[in-house]
């Protein structure tokens, strides 16, 4: 009866806006089983990345007997592990997987993990350790950092077609605070926008954005200097934490962890930064909605329409419960278990206290994460939110004005800003238009 009522509600709303109604698809979950690695050991899937086409899931695999981390790629379509951990994995981590099932991460050094099980390492200088954190869809652009094998200070870098370049970082004088390194952590689908941070003395990791220029170089935008100050006491800069926790694949939105000192309470909040408008939205749990009052919140990723996923932490310090959260643009954050009440596993994972939702597809429909079961074993999962919640969200946002998502010169070259001459502007609703820029 719920589906019947919801379907008719959606049909009425869609017909009113001229949208053809289709039957809503129910939400569903797929929980990844333990795997036997190439070394014969049993591993648990710590799912951290999902491909844009939602076919592949990847991440580190945990061996309970040794505490070692391997690497895996899971094929959602077949329900099998396409790649299993091998005995030469060591302290591995995977943060991204593309539509072809190639995962990006590091295993002592930055690498790609291919579907045939081979590990392709990115060339590194002697005495330098490399970490790959994210990659463009075609893998031509990889972002991450390097640090001396016998040291700790990191340097943000980008590999373009295998060639490494250190990314420019403002001086301490330009930033207004002392720094001890930098990291590039996220990129959009074509590598033209990179999000990362500088390491400050309090490890709050203030946000930096790098943008690709026509000559192939990257220019740094120290976004944090417009919002962040170490003590939160500078005019218009009240945040003592302003850290990126995700970048949408269209390069428009950054999901944030923020802490606002202006109230004197220093609550940890989640935030959304619109790079196009500069608008920052933050949310602090006051108990009026799904999230328990005074719960700390953590963002983990953001989709192309600004939908943020993450978790809330509630309870005493010794008994904090981590619950999965989703924050649709224009609404308050909700517990994921309330958005998909028929998927009982999500509420169960919440109750066990370690539900870690960590990636979302660009269209906002599929979510991947990991939790712990009653025996404290890791359980990776893929959650299909179905069409019901996304359809409602689209109806609510149906009258929203379309916004620019990309801009090109008449010869097809991607532009980072309005440029004199004819510009081809691609809009969020899929339309394009020609704009003449005179100056």
Q: What is the DSSP string of 390-425?
A: HHHHHHHTTTSPP-EEEEEETTS-B-SS--SEEEEE
Strands 93-97 and 421-427: unpaired
Do 126 and 274 belong together in one domain? yes
Q: Which two tokens stand for residue 291?
A: 């999230």
CA distance 139 to 15: 41
Do 54 and 76 belong together in one domain? yes
Query: Are 383 and 390 within 8 A, CB to CB?
Result: no
CA distance 231 to 260: 10
Q: Which two tokens stand for residue 208?
A: 């930096």
Do 339 and 199 belong together in one domain? yes
Task: Give 200's strand partners.
Answer: 179
- Nearest of 357, 353, 364 to residue 391 by alpha carbon: 364
Q: Digits of tens for pLDDT over the chain (439 positions)?
A: 233 333 333 333 333 334 343 456 899 999 999 999 888 889 999 999 999 999 999 999 998 888 888 999 999 999 999 999 976 766 789 999 999 999 999 999 999 999 999 999 999 999 999 999 999 999 999 999 999 988 889 999 999 999 999 999 999 999 999 999 999 999 999 999 999 999 999 999 999 999 999 999 999 999 999 999 998 888 888 999 999 999 999 999 999 999 988 877 677 889 999 999 999 999 988 888 899 888 889 999 999 999 999 999 887 655 678 999 999 999 999 999 999 999 999 999 999 999 999 999 999 999 999 999 999 999 999 999 997 554 444 443 444 466 676 777 776 667 767 888 887 787 766 677 777 786 6
Do 370 and 233 belong together in one domain? yes
Do 137 and 256 belong together in one domain? yes
Do 296 and 409 belong together in one domain? no
pLDDT of residue 2: 30
pLDDT of residue 392: 42
User: In this structure, how many other beta carbons lie within 10 angstroms of the beta carbon of residue 217?
Assistant: 12
Do 16 and 97 belong together in one domain? no
Q: What is the count of structural domains for the chain?
A: 3
Query: Are 380 and 314 within 8 A, CB to CB?
Result: no
Do 89 and 112 belong together in one domain? yes
Residues recorded for the chain: 439
Handedness of CA 148, 149, 152, 154 (dihedral sign): positive
Do 320 and 414 belong together in one domain? no
Task: Give 195's strand partners.
Answer: 186, 209
Do 196 and 88 belong together in one domain? yes
- Nearest of 210, 150, 149, 153 to residue 178 by alpha carbon: 153
- For residue 387, give the H/E element and its range: helix 386-396
Handedness of CA 113, 116, 122, 123 (dihedral sign): positive
- Nearest of 243, 367, 239 to residue 310 by alpha carbon: 367
pLDDT of residue 423: 79
Give the residue from 367, 389, 411 where a domain finishes.
389
Q: How far is CA 132 from CA 10, 143, 292, 388, in A?
A: 43, 6, 36, 36
- Identify the burial level of 254 via C-beta atoms within 10 angstroms of its C-beta, where 0-12 means exposed, 13-18 middle and 19 or more buried: buried
Do 61 and 9 belong together in one domain? no
Question: DSSP letters along 265-324, please?
Answer: S--EEEEEEETTT--EEEE---SSSSSPTT-EEEEEEE-TT--EEEEEEES-GGG-EEEE
Do 5 and 154 belong together in one domain? no
Query: Are 171 and 220 within 8 A, CB to CB?
Result: no
CA distance 297 to 313: 6
CA distance 362 to 18: 25
Query: Are 179 and 126 within 8 A, CB to CB?
Result: no
Domain with residue 364: its CATH number is: 2.120.10.30
pLDDT of residue 1: 29
**Extended beta strands in 76-187, E state:** 80-83, 93-97, 103-107, 109-113, 119-121, 128-135, 141-148, 155-160, 163-166, 179-187
Residue for token digits 């704009």?
A: 435
Residue-number span of the structural domain to which 23 is assigned:
1-27+390-400
């Amino acid at each position: 009866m719920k589906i019947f009522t919801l379907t008719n509600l959606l049909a009425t709303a869609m017909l009113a806006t001229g949208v053809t109604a289709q039957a809503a698809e129910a939400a569903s979950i797929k929980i990844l089983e333990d795997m036997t690695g190439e070394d014969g050991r049993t591993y648990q899937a710590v799912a951290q990345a999902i491909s844009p086409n939602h076919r592949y899931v990847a991440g580190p695999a945990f061996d309970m007997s040794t505490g070692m981390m391997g690497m895996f790629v899971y094929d959602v379509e077949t329900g099998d592990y396409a790649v299993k951990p091998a005995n030469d994995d060591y302290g591995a981590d995977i943060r991204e997987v593309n539509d072809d099932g190639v995962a990006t991460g590091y295993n002592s050094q930055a690498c790609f993990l291919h579907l045939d099980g081979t590990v392709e390492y990115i060339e590194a200088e002697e005495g330098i350790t490399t970490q790959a954190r994210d990659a463009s869809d075609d893998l031509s652009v990889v972002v991450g950092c390097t640090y001396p094998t016998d040291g700790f200070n990191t340097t943000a870098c980008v590999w373009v077609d295998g060639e490494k370049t250190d990314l420019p970082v403002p001086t301490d004088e330009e930033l207004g605070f002392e720094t001890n390194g930098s990291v590039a952590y996220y990129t959009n689908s074509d590598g033209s926008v990179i999000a990362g941070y500088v390491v400050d003395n309090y490890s709050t990791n203030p946000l930096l954005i790098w943008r690709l220029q026509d000559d192939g170089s990257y220019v740094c935008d120290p976004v944090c200097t417009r919002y962040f100050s170490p003590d939160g006491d500078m005019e218009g800069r009240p945040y003592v934490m302003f850290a990126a926790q995700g970048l949408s694949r269209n390069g428009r939105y950054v999901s944030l962890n923020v802490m606002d000192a202006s109230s004197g309470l220093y609550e940890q909040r989640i935030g959304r930064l619109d790079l196009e408008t500069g608008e920052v939205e933050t949310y602090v749990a006051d108990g009026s909605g799904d999230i328990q009052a005074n719960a700390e919140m953590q963002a983990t990723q953001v989709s192309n329409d600004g939908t943020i996923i993450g978790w809330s932490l509630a309870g005493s310090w010794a008994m904090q419960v981590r619950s999965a959260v989703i924050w649709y643009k224009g609404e308050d954050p909700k517990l994921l278990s309330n958005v998909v009440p028929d998927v009982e596993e999500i509420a169960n994972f919440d109750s066990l206290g370690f539900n870690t939702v960590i990636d979302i597809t660009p269209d906002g429909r599929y979510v991947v994460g990991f939790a712990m079961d009653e025996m404290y074993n890791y359980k990776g999962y893929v959650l299909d939110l179905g069409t019901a919640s996304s359809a409602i969200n689209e109806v609510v946002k149906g009258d929203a004005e379309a916004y620019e998502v990309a801009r090109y010169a008449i010869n097809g070259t991607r532009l980072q800003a309005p440029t004199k001459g004819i510009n081809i502007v691609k809009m969020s609703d899929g339309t394009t238009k020609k704009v003449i820029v005179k100056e």
